[in-house]
Structures are given as structure tokens and as C-alpha cells.
Chain A
Amino acid sequence: MSELFTDFFLLQDPNVRWVLAGTILLGLSAGALGCFAVLRERALVGDAVAHAVLPGVCLAFIFTGDKDPLALLIGSVIFGWISLVVMDFIIRNSKISADTSIGMVLSVFFGLGVVLLTYIQSSGNVNQSGLDAFLFGNAASMLPEDVMLFGFVSLMVLVVIIAMYKELKLVSFDSSYAKVIGYPLKRMEFLIATLLVVTITAGLQAVGVVLMASMLIIPAAAARYWTDSLRVMLFVAAFVGGISAISGSFVSYAAPSMPTGPWMVVSAAFIFTLSFFFAPARGETRKWIKRLNQKQKIRRENILKTLYGLNEADGKEEKVRTLQEIIKKRRMEKKTLKRGLSELEKSGMIEHYRGRPDGFVLTETGRVEARRIVRLHRLWELYLTEKLEIAGDHVHDDAESMEHVITPEIEAQLLKILENPESDPHDEKIPY
């Protein structure tokens, strides 16, 4: 295995060199370009274009009688363009929705391509073998001239993205604004479309019709979990595309019967799954931790409030409160209560007396914090009854949740609006 690794990464085999160069270039440019497709909600348009270029490939072959990569590229770019124009025409001129239009163009153009392909096959031209590489992709059979063409296309795509970064960004996020401030919107859309068509066509030979769309969508979608900045997203997406290309090529190098394209897609999907769960910026784990923290904070604050309530009821601030007393005042699971109490003890809000009776007392900091929460609760109740004219017996539940989220700024505003009130709608004192 390690031998395979060194052989592969030292690029001993010239064939590996070409395949790797080709697929990495594809991964980079498709990943970066895919960001714009995904952000503009056009992800599946790429899928349709990838299918729709098939008749172009076949017609180019019929006219030239040869598999000249440049001719095939030109043929498919033309048909990619026609497919976009037709999609747009149908949507503009009928009540057909965008997805239906995409699905129709995809399947009918592909059907036409299959008709032409079978026509070529039955015509008996000996050169035709290998044309169906366009359907499923065959990275392993890429020739140096294919890779050169490919490299040129990818380089062009990357250069255009870098050069036009500001314009592309504006068009992706707010095209109406771009139009209003006088951007040549039509020309920009023409540019993006051309880049997309060219990249897709160039990529077909490596990964094939069906999987080309995924090389546009998956790296970009994965990158979205890592950042909120478009610039970073472009780099991450290109990186994910490149890594997928390397691992896909490696699998098919290690096991020659394995196809490169599907393994590229599966690698990209694996990275996507990792990003979905573990990306620090927007991943699931992070969301989960945030939610957990919020839940614990609410639990702690509720316990503080309960202790305050007990003190307020009998006026004995120094009295030790047992677990039973707390549960009697506010129903909660004994286990969660204990966990919350120990968290509070660690942060110095309460003290635990292990005597008789065994129980808890608010410290000075704890008392300040508890007063703050009760104050927010009562201020909010007062605000709802005074300013929003909600009945006094309807405001408690709302205040129960608002007390945990009101910021000091909002508190200051509430105090100002209510003119530093003394008591809440239930005639309870608002503690300061």
C-alpha cells in the first residue's frame, strides 16, 4: 500500500501525471465556479447543461469524422448555449416553471444526443469508439492534448473569476441592485453562463455527464459550512474539488478497474458530510453545542430565580434552601437540578452547605445575578401590559422566555420607556 502511495504521489508514471493534472484542474475550476451556481440557486442548471451538450458532441463528430478535442469542445459549447437559451425562452414565454423547463431541456436534448450517438454507431465509422466516454467519463484515458485543452480552460475560468471578482459577487448576491446602479447585467450573466458551459464541457471527459453536476454543486455546498465570506468560500470549494480529484484518481490508480469520476464524487460527498457535521463556522456540531450552552444557561438562570423567589417569599436571604424546597417551588428533574446547582457553585453564584439541613445559599454575586433575571422578567411583564395592553394574566409565559435573552441595551431602553417602575403588574417589587 505504501508503495502505491509513493508511486502515485511521486508521479513516476507519466500517465498518472496527466490524469492527475487534468482532474485537479477540473476540481479547482468546477469547485470555484460552482459557488456562483449554488449561491444563485442555479445548481441543477449545470446538470441540464451537462446532459444537453451530448448532441453537440455527436454533431461535431459527424461533421469532422474525428474525435478532435477542440472540435468536440466547440460543438458542445454551442449546444450548452442553445440549451440555456431554450430554458430561458420557455420560462419567459409560458407558465412553465423553472424546474420543469430544466427537466425538459435536460431529457429532450439528451434524447437527441442518444439518437445521434446510436446513429453514429450504426453508421460504422471506426473512429466512433470512445465517444461514449462523454457519457460516463473516463479520466484514465485522458491524453496529454486533452489535459492541455482542459488546463487552458480551467486557467481561463480561474483568471476570469479573479479578475471579475467584485462584479461576480454583486451579481450573485443582489442582481437587482447591480442593475439599478448600472451594471451591465446581461453581459455579466452571459459571462457566467459561458464559463459554466465551458467548464462543464471540459469536465465531461473526466467525470461524465451525470457526475459533472456534482463537481459543481458538492464542493461549493461543503464550502458554505466553513465560512460566510465569498472569498474564503471560493478557496475552500476549489480546495475540496482538488482534494476529491486527487483521491478519486488515487483510488482508480490503486484499483484500475475502479472508475475515477464516481470516486471523485464520493470523496467530495464524504468531505461534504464532514463539513456538514463538523465545520466550525456553520456545522451541525457547532449548532448543537450552541444550543446546549443556551439550554444550560437557561437552566442556571431558572435555578437562581427560584432561589431568589424563595428568599423573597420569607425574607430570609441567608437561609439554606434544600433540594426539596427548590423542587417544590419550581418543578424540574432532580438530576438536571443537581447538575445546574453544581455549575452555579463552580461559577461562585451559590454556596453548598453540607450540614443539616443540606442545601444552598446565594452568594453576593449570585444575588446580583438573580435580581437581574427577576428584574428582566418583571420589566417585560410590565412592558407587555402597559405598552402592548396585554392582560396581566397572559404575560408570564412570554416573560419566562424573554428574561433569558434581553440584553443590557434592551433593559436600559425598557427602563427608559417604563420610567424606572417600582412594581410589576402582579404588584411584585422590581428589584434593582
Chain B
Amino acid sequence: MSTFWIILTACLASSACALVGSFLVLRKQAMLGDAISHAVLPGIAIAFLLTASRNTFPMLIGAGAFGLLTVYLTEKLQLRGRLMNDASMGIVFTTLFAIGVIIITMFASQVDLDQECILYGEIAYVPWDLWIFNGMNMGPRPVWILGFVLMLNLLFIVSCYKELKIYAFDRQLAVSMGIPIMLIHYGLMGSVSFSTIAAFESVGAILVVALIVVPPATAYLLTRRLSHLLMLAVFFGILSSISGYYLAYWTNSSIAGAIAVMTGVYFGLALFFSPVDGILAKKYRRKQNTGKGPYEGPGLELRTKQTINI
């Protein structure tokens, strides 16, 4: 039974993260997931101290507030401080994380929360974290929380699908069409914060990043339709959760870590073997076309190449 609960928790977490992560990847803001997942730490710690309990609702509020604060400060700093987006993000989230660590160590005696648990979580304890409602055993608490956040994300995406789509691909067009872009933007950021905090308890802050970024990136290589992308991202999230669990079981190691590794494995496969954008497919197409006339199909798009050379 405990295997079932663990896998269910992982699947719910990865689905919730994959849904919002798809938009972050499309908007080229993937590192925002990393930033938010670290920056919510002081929010969690403060909520913890104020309520003196591991109650989820105040923690969600605290984390949500600090998640939005991160987004807001990053944007302000970029605008007013003439800094690059990545530098301002790096300043904001590492500072908030450091403050969170300090708060936790300051009240270490009162806080049953340690930084290791926040960084890489412990999903194996999920089956024992039960929610007792009216004396009735309702099953593991994280399942309920993650289920709730997943529903919230689904509701947001379904009800604002068209707006989100335009916002993800063409911000200018969205503005000119009169779509309340700030509302959509902060709504999405709020969803990212909620998903992060709901998932962090079980998978930890950094592995949340894996769930947010990698499955959508994998799906991005396999399709060119937003609806398919969302579904594929959820599919790869779930697939990674299940195979990750068995990898961890087999090697006797961290489940969350193994799930992250599996997301990477699927991405690697898609990178090479995707029929749409895979390296091999592109190579094959190029070979097919040598010696023929000008080719104008996919695979030879002229685009500016970004590179990382540090």
C-alpha cells in the first residue's frame, strides 16, 4: 500500500509541476522555477513560526507571497537596476534563501524543519503523514494537498487557455489584444509558487526544478502543439515518477533524486531520437536532402543560435 501512495504522490506532484512548467519553458523563464523554489523558504519558515504547526494552509500562503515577491523584485531590479534578468534573479533568490536558512537555524529548537529536507525532501515518509479528519483516516495528507494544487492548476489552465497560449508565444500580441497580461503573468507565477511549495515537502526544492523544467522540455522536442505539449509533459512527469521509484527501490537510494535522473534520461532519449526535432532525425533529413534543390522543410530553419560558452 505504501508503494501506491508514494507513486501517487510523485505522479500528482509531477503533473502539477509539468503543467505550469510548460509555460515557463515556452516563455524562456525556466530558471524562475529554480528561483521560486528556493525563495519560498523564508515564507515557509515564517508561516511555521507564526502558527507553530506544520499546517499546510499558512505555509501555502507564506510561500505564495514570497514566490510572488521574488518575481516582483526580480522584475523591479532588472528595470530600475539596469541588471540582466539572470543576475537580478540570482541576487533575489539566493538572498531570500539565505535569510530562510538563517531564520530556521535561529529558531532551530522550535522548528521541526531542516534544510536538507527542504533541499531534497523525503517522499518515502509520505504514507505515514496521514490526514485525520473528524477522527477519520483520509489517507496521506500530501496526496490531498497535491491533488488540490493540481486541480487548481488545471482550472487555471483550462479557464485561461487561450490567453495563456497567446501570452506564452507572443506577448506583444497579447497586449495589443487587450488580454490582462499582468493578471495572467502573476496568476501563472502564483501557480508556480503553489506547485513548488506543495511538491517541496515530498521531493525537495531542487528536484521540483527537475519536475518543472525537464518533462516540458522533453515534450517540447516531440510536438509543436501546445495542447499536445501539456499532455506529453504530464505523461513524461508520470513516467519519470514511476520509473524513478523503481530505480530508487533497486539502488536503495533517494526516490526524489531517482525521479530527477529519470526525467533527464527521457529528455536525453527525446533529444536524440525525437522524430520531430531529434538530432538523428535532423541528420537523416539533411542527408536525404544533400544534392537536391533548396529544402524548406523543418530542420533547416534559420534561427539565431544561442550558445553557452563560459
Residues of A bordering B, CB below 8 Å? 37-38, 40-47, 51, 84, 87-88, 90-104, 106-108, 110-119, 122, 132, 135-136, 189, 192-193, 196, 210-211, 213-214, 217-218, 220-221, 224-225, 257-259, 261-263, 265-266, 269, 272, 276, 282, 284
B91 at the interface (CB under 8 A from A): yes
Q: Are B207 and A114 interface neighbours, CB within 8 A? A: yes
- Known A-B contacts A38-B84, A99-B31; the reply to A106 vs B105 at CB < 8 A is no
A276: which B residues are within 8 A, CB to CB? 77, 81
**Contacts A101-B308, A104-B213, A107-B209; is A261 near B91 (CB within 8 Å)?**
no
Cβ of B256 within 8 Å of any chain A Cβ, yes or no, is: yes
The answer to whether A42 and B308 touch across the interface, beta carbons within 8 angstroms, is: yes
Please tell me if the beta carbons of A221 and B267 are within 8 angstroms of each other in the complex: no
Q: Is B132 an interface residue when CB atoms closer than 8 A count as contact?
A: no
Evaluate whether A214 and B91 lie within 8 angstroms (CB atoms) in the complex, with A92-B305, A100-B217, A114-B256 already known.
Answer: yes
**In the complex, how many angstroms separate the beta carbon of A116 from the nearest chain B beta carbon?**
7
Instruction: Kindly name the residue among A40, A100, A217, A284 whose own CB sees the greatest number of chain B CB atoms within 10 A.
Output: A100
Q: Please pick, from B28, B86, B217, B256, the residue contacting A111 in the complex, using a CB distance under 8 A.
A: B256
B190 sits at the interface (CB 8 A)? no
Q: How many A-B residue pairs have CB under 8 A?
A: 234
Q: How far apart are the CA atoms of A257 and B212 in the complex, in Å?
A: 34
Contact yes or no, B87 A262, CB < 8 A: no
Of B220, B257, B263, B310, most buried by chain A (CB within 10 Å of CB) is B310
Which residues from chain A contact B95 at a C-beta distance below 8 Å?
214, 218, 265-266, 269
Interface: B159 (CB within 8 A): no
Asked if B119 CB lies within 8 Å of chain A CBs, one says: yes
> Can you list the 5 inter-chain pairs with the closest CB atoms, starting with the nearest?
A111-B260, A114-B257, A214-B94, A108-B264, A107-B210
> Smallest distance from the beta carbon of B135 to chain A beta carbons, Å?
36
Is there a chain A Cβ closer than 8 Å to B206's Cβ?
yes
Interchain CA distance A41-B84 in the complex, whole Å: 7
Chain A neighbourhood of B207, CB < 8 A: 107, 110-111, 114
Enumerate B236-287 residues with CB–CB distance to A below 8 Å.
Answer: 247-248, 251-254, 256-261, 263-264, 267, 271, 277, 279
Closest-by-CB residue of B relative to A207 is B98
Which of B28, B90, B267, B307 interacts with A44 by CB under 8 Å? B90
Whether B119 lies near A100 (C-beta < 8 A) is: no
Q: Write out the residue numbers on chain B whose beta carbons fall within 8 Å of the beta carbon of A118.
A: 252-254, 257
30 inter-chain pairs at a CB distance below 8 angstroms, sorted by A residue, are A41-B84, A42-B310, A43-B90, A44-B34, A46-B90, A84-B308, A84-B310, A94-B277, A96-B220, A98-B308, A99-B29, A100-B217, A103-B213, A104-B210, A104-B213, A107-B34, A107-B263, A112-B260, A114-B254, A115-B261, A119-B251, A193-B309, A210-B119, A214-B94, A214-B95, A221-B88, A225-B81, A259-B105, A262-B98, A265-B95
Tell me whether A221 and B30 are in contact (CB under 8 A): no
Give residues 65-94 of B contacting A (CB, 8 Å). 77, 80-84, 86-91, 94
Q: Which of B29, B102, B220, B253 sits near A266, CB closer than 8 Å?
A: B102
Q: Are B31 and A103 in contact (CB under 8 A)?
A: yes
Given contacts A100-B30, A282-B82, contact A47 B90 (CB under 8 A): yes
Given contacts A99-B28, A102-B30, A214-B90, contact A115 B253 (CB under 8 A): yes
Closest to A105 in B: B264
Q: Are B33 and A103 closer than 8 Å at their CB atoms? A: yes
How many angstroms from the CA of A110 to the CA of B256 in the assembled complex?
Answer: 11
B260: A residues at CB distance < 8 A = 107-108, 110-112, 114
Residues of chain B within 8 A of A42, CB atoms compared: 86, 308, 310
- A283 to B: closest C-beta gap in Å: 10
The residues of B that contact A122 with a CB separation of less than 8 Å are 252-253
A102-B308 contact in complex given A108-B214, A119-B251, A213-B90, C-beta closer than 8 Å: yes
On chain B, the residues within 8 Å of A115 by CB distance are: 247-248, 251, 253-254, 257-258, 261
| B residues 28-82 touching A (CB-CB < 8 Å) | 28-31, 33-34, 38, 77, 80-82
- Closest Cβ of chain B to A219, distance in Å, is 10
CB B215 to nearest CB in A, in angstroms, measures 10
Q: For residue A284, which residues in chain B have a CB less than 8 angstroms away from its CB?
A: 80
Whether a CB of chain A sits under 8 angstroms from the CB of B120 is yes
B303's nearest neighbour on chain A, judged by CB, is: A95
Instruction: Give B73 Cβ to nearest chain A Cβ, in Å.
Output: 11
Separation of A358 and B176 alpha carbons in the complex (Å):
54
Pair B217/A104 contact, Cβ less than 8 Å: yes
Which residues from B are CB-within-8-Å of A117?
A: 254, 257
CB distance from A87 to the nearest CB of B (A): 5
Residue of A nearest to B119 (CB): A135
| Contact with B98, one of A43, A88, A261 (Cβ below 8 angstroms) | A261
Contact partner, B101, options A114, A119, A189, A259, Cβ 8 Å = A259
**Nearest CB of chain A from residue B28's CB, rounded to whole Å:** 5
Contacts A44-B86, A104-B213, A282-B82 known; A111 to B261 CB distance under 8 Å?
Answer: yes
Residue in contact with A218 in the complex, picked from B94, B209, B259, B263, CB distance below 8 Å: B94
List chain B residues, Cβ under 8 A from A106: 34, 206, 209
Question: Given A104-B213, A115-B254, A135-B119: A110 and B206 within 8 A (CB)?
Answer: yes
Residues in A neighbouring B279, C-beta threshold 8 A? 93-94
Please determine whether B102 and A111 come into contact, CB atoms closer than 8 angstroms. Answer: no
For residue B19, CB closer than 8 A to chain A, the reply is no
A258 touches B102 (CB 8 A): yes
Report the nearest B residue to A121, measured CB to CB: B253
- When the two chains form the complex, which single residue of B28, B86, B90, B97 contacts A100, counting CB atoms closer than 8 Å? B28
| Residue of B30, B82, B102, B247 contacting most chain A CB atoms (<10 Å) | B30
Q: Given A51-B206, A107-B206: A135 and B116 within 8 A (CB)?
A: yes
